[in-house]
Amino acid sequence: MKIKCTFGFHRWQGCKCLQCAKARDKGHDWSKDCTRCSQCRATREKAHDWSKDCNKCSACGKERAESHRWKGCVCEACGQARSHDWTKDCERCARCAAVRENAHDRSKDCNKCSACGKERAESHQWSRCKCSVCGKSRDQEHDWSKDCEKCANCGATRKDSHRIEGCQCSICGSQFHNWGADTKVGPMLHSHSCKRCGKSERSVIIDPRNPDDLDAFMRVFGFGGR
């Protein structure tokens, strides 16, 4: 201990002597924690300021466990606000009954909000079997004119609705050929025939291992040939 300190002439820095480390109850540093001095570790009670936020001291920034006294979305003790609860109704808070407008998401269903599930009276704008606003479909007024088993308007399907005569539906005109195996009839050209009605079709199939196919391909697309 320095001789000066023995006679009470300390070199104080806040609450602590730089020479002998003696502490005094004065000049404490409460900046990091209002209840514990960061220099000498002295403590005190009920020093935090929770008036502006029940969970965080406005003087030192110290935090504590949830201590708000919520009434709706506002704390009765400090006045802090919390976020509204729109989970049950996008336009009315479940905690405080606050309201807002045009918040529902009815892009997927005109009658039901996809965010909160809130429903409303019939609001679809039907174009036959499909809503022209949200795209939702209904099992009414389907368009089976092009295909007896697939609606041309909404894509809905059904089974066993064709009236097949030979290889064609007599109602919608859809064809149901029973094609045989492909037969090569020339460079890049293949043909197959229906086993029921005899109708034949040709298709272009390029075999890269076939020199004739490659030569024909080169000529067709202007790359010359052999």
Separation of alpha carbons 25 and 174, rounded Å: 98
- Weakest mean pLDDT among 4-13, 51-60, 177-186, 210-219: 210-219
Please give the pLDDT value at position 4.
82
Q: Could you report the per-residue pLDDT of 3-33, keeping only the tens digit for each?
A: 888 878 888 999 999 888 888 999 999 999 9
How confident is residue 1, by pLDDT bands cut at 50, 70 and 90?
A: low
Q: Could you report the per-residue pLDDT of 115-174, keeping only the tens digit for each?
A: 999 999 999 999 999 999 999 999 999 999 999 999 999 999 999 999 999 999 999 999
Please give the pLDDT value at position 223.
66
Q: Does the pLDDT at position 189 exceed 90? A: no
Tokens of residue 100, six digits: 């807002």
In the chain, what's the furthest Cα-to-Cα distance? 124
Q: Does the pLDDT at position 55 exceed 90? A: yes
58 or 22, which is more confident? 58
How confident is residue 212, by pLDDT bands cut at 50, 70 and 90?
A: confident
Contact 178, 151 (CB under 8 A): no
Quote the pTM value: 0.58
Q: Does the pLDDT at position 95 exceed 60? A: yes
Taking CA atoms, 68 is separated from 34, 41, 118, 188, in Å, by: 20, 29, 30, 79
Q: Could you report the per-residue pLDDT of 165-186, keeping only the tens digit for each?
A: 999 999 999 999 999 998 888 8
Tokens of residue 38, six digits: 């960061």
Q: What is the 3-state secondary structure (H, E, C) of 9-40?
A: CCCEECCEECCCCCECCCCCCCCCCCCECCCC
Please give the pLDDT value at position 30.
96
Q: What percent of the chain has pLDDT over 90?
A: 75
Pairing between strand 130-131 and 168-169?
unpaired
Tokens of residue 88, six digits: 């049950």
